[in-house]
Amino acid sequence: MTTISVPIPASLESFIKDMVSRGFASNKADLIRKAILRLKEDEAVNSVLRAEQEGREGKNLSGDLDDLAKHFKGWNS
């Protein structure tokens, strides 16, 4: 696992501490990992929604769903 050091403003630090104290995560690092995972999940959903919209607009879509599945395999790890 890699460690990343990121400076954050005091307001975000307060928010992080509050979320941990409310039980959303076991510690600050766990909360940040969960937040990044949530962003990753949101991006995957948005990609599907964009593809659906493009399909409704008649844009040509091509690709292999098996390849896409391989790309996202373990996306929640």
Q: What is the pLDDT of residues 6-46, one digit of tens each?
A: 999 999 999 999 999 999 999 999 999 999 999 999 998 88
Q: What is the pLDDT of residue 72?
A: 66
- Residue at 51 is within a domain: yes
How would residue 67 be classed by pLDDT, with cut points 50, 70 and 90? Answer: confident
Answer with the residue of higher pLDDT: 66 or 10: 10
Length of the chain: 77
What's the domain count of the chain?
Answer: 1
pTM (2 decimals)?
Answer: 0.67
Range(s) of the domain holding residue 72: 26-56+65-77
What pLDDT does residue 59 have? 76
Is position 14 within any domain?
Answer: no
Domain membership flag for residue 3: no
**What does the alpha-carbon distance between residue 51 and residue 38 come to, in Å, rounded to a whole number?**
20
